[in-house]
A = this chain, B = another copy of it.
Amino acid sequence: MTKIDAARLWSLNHRLLMSVIATVAEDVGALGLEVKELFVLSEVDEHPYPAELAAALVMPKPSMTVYVKRLEAAGFLRREIDAADLRKHRLLMTPAGRKAMQRGLTLLADAFAERLGRLSGSEQAQLRGLLEKLC
């Protein structure tokens, strides 16, 4: 694969993601969530601290402050001081947050699945394996 081919591959991939986001933005918004907020929510269980989340999602810390604040105001997230390190804010998803997250992820998955539908089952499994190696 030449270098320009790799860039082309990258660009195809990028366009795919952007168009899936554009497709679901409105329906996700109806849940009271922005798409980026949905991504944040979806990683809270695995990365329960803002700084960790920011690193995991490749976004600056101040942006995370904003998202967490909005998610908290919307009742999707609670935060409590970590007893072991008083600088840290441990994030906890509320039941409403979990529900919104699951609905949002379903919307995203449906839109993506519509694209994925162009692949056979075994091709989908292949793709999954390849992407996991890349991440």
Please list the residues of chain A having a beta carbon within 8 angstroms of any beta carbon in chain B: 1, 3-7, 9-20, 22, 39, 42, 56-59, 102, 105-106, 108-110, 112-113, 115-116, 118-119, 121, 123-128, 130-135
Contact = CB atoms under 8 A, between A and B. Distances in A.
Number of copies: 2
Nearest to A108: B7
Contacts of A42: 7, 11
A135 B12 contact: yes
Given A15-B58, A42-B11, A57-B15, A134 B118 contact: yes
A1 B115 CA distance: 13
Contact of A130 (B1, B5, B127): B127
A109 to B, nearest CB: 4
A58 B22 contact: yes
Give the most central of A17, A56, A118, A119: most B CB within 10 Å. Answer: A17
A113 to B, nearest CB: 5
Contact of A135 (B7, B15, B109, B134): B15
A10 B11 CA distance: 15
Nearest to A104: B7
A48 to B, nearest CB: 17
Contacts of A6: 108-110, 112-113, 116
